[in-house]
Amino acid sequence: MTFKFETTGEESKNAMGSATALTKAHWEGNELVIESTLKAGERELHFRDHWSLSSDAQTLTMGHRDDDLAGQISVLEKAPPSAAEKFENTHE
């Protein structure tokens, strides 16, 4: 999925499968907060993603603190350049 939005809090529309999400994004200090609402059948879902980058820029963390996915956390660690080379060599 690809989401496009402004970080000014302006609402935008983004496709999520067969549904359309209304998305707003804004900064809270050093965190990017992305709020999305979409209807799935009769249910309205609300997501509030909190994105932050570690001080050494090696770890990107996204957490759901207070939404329909509360408690879920994704942690992405930067891989060394050799990992990209290995990936490219196995997918030629």
Q: Tell me, rounded to whole angstroms, the distance of Cα 69 from its chain centroid.
A: 12
pLDDT of residue 1: 74
Stated pTM of the model: 0.77
- Tens of pLDDT, residue by residue over 12-68, are 998 888 888 999 999 999 999 999 999 888 889 999 999 999 999 999 999 999 888
Please determine, for residue 90, whether its predicted confidence score (pLDDT) is greater than 80: no
Strand bridging mode 73-77 / 59-64: antiparallel
Tokens at 4, concatenated: 């496009």
H, E, C per residue of the chain: CCCCCCCECCCEEEEECCEEEEEEEEEECCEEEEEEEEEECCEEEEEEEEEEECCCCCEEEEEECCCCCCCCEEEEECCCHHHHHHHHHHCC
C-alpha 23/C-alpha 30 separation (Å) is 19
Please determine, for residue 83, whether its predicted confidence score (pLDDT) is greater than 90: no
C-alpha 67/C-alpha 28 separation (Å) is 17
